[in-house]
Structure 1
Amino acid sequence: MEQLRKSTQKQGWQWILWSGVLASISIGGILLYSFWLNRPSAALTVRALEVQQGSVEDKIEESGVVELANQQVLKAPNETTVERVLVQPGAQVRVGQELILLRDPRQQTTLARTELELEKQQLIIERDRQKVSDAENKLNVARTRLQELNEQRHSTQLEIRKKELEITNARAELRDSQEKLQASLRQLESDRELEERGFIAGSVLRNQEETVRSDRASVRQVEFRINNALVDLQDLQLKLSLTRQELQDNVRTAEAELRQAQLDLDTAQRDLQRQELEYQENQQVLQNNIITSPINGIILDLKVNPGDGVQTGNDLLTLGDPSEERIKLQLSILNATRVKPNQEARISVIGPNPQQFSGRVISLSLQALSSEASGGGRGGSQISVPAIVKLDRPTGTLIPGSQVSVEVILDQRQDILTLPVEAVQRDGSATSVWIADSENLAQKRDVTLGLEGLSEVEIVSGLQEGDRVILPSPGQTLTPGTPVNAETISPSGGSRSGRSRRRR
């Protein structure tokens, strides 16, 4: 029994011993894990940038073509031959100065023929004018004679009235004479009977016969007077009627002749106007053969030489005004919606160490244009919006027709806190940066952005000037509290090492 109690006591002590060993091992493992977990980590070397004041630009970059103000290509006005070239590339020219003389013998012949036709037509017009003048004179004479007849009509009518009265009186006298004759005849018959009977002497009969003869003579005389008066009356009436009709016919004929002469003159004048227009057109064609400068400028290029034949619309020369230089842009639709006239622009020649020039946007087309795509790849068309940038001052070095790079400044802020774009961390709409605190531990800080450019952004809130912002390199992972060895980068591109202090 004693032995059993000792054996049981021994087993209890063994169990306690092993439990203590296991507990010690567990406590040691926990302490070891805690030590490993809380061990000091090595500082992570990162680039950092001190927050400073600067400027931010929102801009677009495009390439454009240099040209001069009023740069233009003068073209051949018609099919002709170059007779003389009066300028050379680089020559300064003034408005109206003759540049190229063209020759068109056929047009010169046409002009000479038209000039002869003009002279002939002018003679025809002079002849027709004379006809009009003659017809007017003839009409005036006819009207004058008709007017004179109208003025004499009253006196003629008085004469007719007198003749009618004269005839009336003569007829009354004729009746008296006839009655007297009849009485004389009856008396004569009576006297003959009496003489045959011997009642009267023969002398009485002869006296009566003489009286009859006298009365018959009186009747014939009155009849003659009446006949003469009737003839005169008919003459007066006929003269009045015929003369008026004739003069009226003369007036109508003269009026018709005048109208025809005026019509001929109007037709000739219209023909003259048509021929003058043809002459002016032919003269203008010849004048167009003298190519003159439309501007004060410089000759940029010559396309022809004396003796060359040119077709209508062929290029002759290019000129422009060097007092103003411009850049022609073809903006994408996306960029065109952001560009406005009067925005600042920077122009630089494409190449190493380019010199920059300042300018402004002066025009932006309201219509997009389609042009054939150039270069390799699939063919097709590109939609672009034309725009023009004017340099503030002519450089005298940019070559018209050359390609240049253009930066259009859409917006600009100065004397503000700025950071490089790569320093900003984005999580949806939230923005933040990593900073190195006073103990050189990485901390995440929310910031509010303002104007964003291609390489710089404006910091509106969340940072102060002098704060060190970490620029994580690709592959680096930061967590809040990570020790960092911040290598501060200067704005000029240099750097200075900043060994972090280990947190104790």
Structure 2
Amino acid sequence: MFGKDNPKLEKFFHHNGRWLAGAAILTVIGVGTWQSNLILNREEPVAVRLSEVKRGTVESTINESGVVELRDQRILTSPTEGAVDRVLVQPGNRIKAGQTLITLRYPERETALANQEVKIQQQRRILQRHQQEIVEAKEQIAADEIKLRPLVAGAREGAIAREQVYEQQDKLRETRATLRDAQADARTAALELEAFQLERKRIQQEVRDSIVTAPIDGVVLGVNVKNGDGVEFRTNLLTIGDPTQVLVKLQLSTLNATQVRPNQLARVSVIGPDRQTFTGRIQSLYPQAVGEEEEEQSSGGGSKQSNQSSSSDQPAVPSIVLLDTPTRTLIPGSRVNVEILLQQRQNVIVLPTEIVQRDDDDDSKPFVWVRDSQGNAQKRPVKLGLEGLTNVEVTSGLQIGDRVIQPPSEPSLEPGVPVISDQ
């Protein structure tokens, strides 16, 4: 039945056998192609950099720019108009409280003082004359009283005419009137002398103001005048400050100011290639945002130094950072960067921010790339804590010693893609 004696069956197997053989060949080719593609893909894994998970510190900070000042930094001004006689210090000089820094000339005040001295001397002579008149009047009264007593006794006995007694009594009354006048004149002269002396004291104070002295121990930061310069009332003469304490004045944006509190840690660094960092604390925070003009008024005017950023046309909150230790590196008046520490987590699992990825569809689900036991890239969900500018705290999903993939820019990773370390 199935042998060569059945020609129909032989024809059927001959025709369909060729079709089955072709199908088998195509199947083998397809499987071979898939296997070859798999082999090729396995031969070209993506080179990535692996990072070991470690503990570290995460910080949340804000950055502002500020201007360096010394504590008690102030500008000494001219107490009145005049001319500079001598400048006795120069920038950089150390000074002591009470030390003479600048002497000024006030010719009009010096002339007024000399004229007042003349008036005082004249008034003293007038007072002395009236005092002498008082002495003489008292002596005369005593003499007249002595002379009057025997006349009164003689008149009682009838030995002396009463006219002589009356004449002596009139003379005594005139002398007593002279005494009263002299005493009144002396009181008036004394009052006028006191007024002249008070005026002299006022003029002396004005002349004394011609000597500008240091109100504190410190250092001279700048001198604005030279010998012979004319000055007006409140002309800026020189700037001084206390180098034992260094301040940084800054203008916080209203958004940043809401996060800042007194006594927060601040790091101050020079803006430039030679970066040095100094630590300090927020000393004070102005209770409200102010504009540029208001800030100048609140700082007392005078030494106006611009320490606002490019957005200075917007209201800002003035703040002061006090450095922990004095430094001779920071130059008063120079601009510095101020990094204010808002929050800090120490000894926690930390990753660089660029390693943590987020789904395009759901930003609230962060993950990292890890390499599985077969050497393929896989997503691993993580939970984040404090996020800083350059790193982030991982609260769950990773352990110390785990190795995570630093995602390459090209090609992008996909789950299951083989990866190899380029280290």
The residue identity in structure 2 corresponding to 1:348 is S
- Measure, in 2, the Cα distance between the counterparts of 1:362 and 1:421: 32
- Measure, in 2, the Cα distance between the counterparts of 1:283 and 1:25: 123
Post-superposition CA distance 1:88-130 (Å, at most 9, x none): 33322222222111111112334455666778899999999xx
Post-superposition CA distance 1:333-379 (Å, at most 9, x none): 332222222122222333334232222221222233334999xxx99
- The question of 1:458 aligning with 2:396 is answered no
TM-score with structure 2 setting the length: 0.70
* SS, match of residue 23 in structure 1: helix
- Which of these two proteins has the greater Rg computed from alpha carbons? 1
Post-superposition CA distance 1:153-176 (Å, at most 9, x none): xxxxxxxxxxxxxxxxxxxxxxxx
Change beyond 3 A, Cα 1:118–1:436: farther
Post-superposition CA distance 1:51-77 (Å, at most 9, x none): 001111212233322221111111112
- Picking from 224, 229, 237, the partner of 1:308 is 229
Which structure has the highest helix share of the two?
A: 1
- Measure, in 2, the Cα distance between the counterparts of 1:45 and 1:483: 9
- Picking from 323, 338, 341, the partner of 1:406 is 338
Please name the residue that 1:347 is paired with: 268
- Measure, in 1, the Cα distance between the counterparts of 2:121 and 2:258: 64
- The question of 1:471 aligning with 2:406 is answered yes
Larger mean Cα displacement after TM superposition, 31-40 or 92-101? 31-40
Change beyond 3 A, Cα 1:90–1:277: same
Contact residue 56 and residue 451 of structure 1 kept, 8 A: yes
Following TM superposition, by how much is the alpha carbon of 1:21 offset from its aligned partner in structure 2, in angstroms? 4.9
Q: Aligned pairs, how many?
A: 352
How many percent identity over aligned positions? 46
Change beyond 3 A, Cα 1:442–1:118: farther
Contact residue 344 and residue 408 of structure 1 kept, 8 A: yes
- The question of 1:441 aligning with 2:376 is answered yes
* SS, match of residue 27 in structure 2: helix
Map 1:215-364; keep pairs closer than 5 Å: 281-364=202-285
- The question of 1:381 aligning with 2:383 is answered no
Please name the residue that 1:75 is paired with: 77
The residue identity in structure 1 corresponding to 2:273 is P
Please name the residue that 2:58 is paired with: 56
Change beyond 3 A, Cα 1:280–1:19: farther
Structure 2 stretches of 5 or more lacking a match? Answer: 1-5, 131-183, 294-304
Please name the residue that 2:161 is paired with: none
- The question of 1:397 aligning with 2:318 is answered no
- Measure, in 2, the Cα distance between the counterparts of 1:379 and 1:80: 41
* SS, match of residue 256 in structure 2: helix
- Measure, in 1, the Cα distance between the counterparts of 2:201 and 2:313: 45
TM-score with structure 1 setting the length: 0.60
* SS, match of residue 268 in structure 2: strand
Please name the residue that 1:27 is paired with: 27
The residue identity in structure 1 corresponding to 2:225 is V
The residue identity in structure 1 corresponding to 2:325 is R
The residue identity in structure 2 corresponding to 1:354 is R
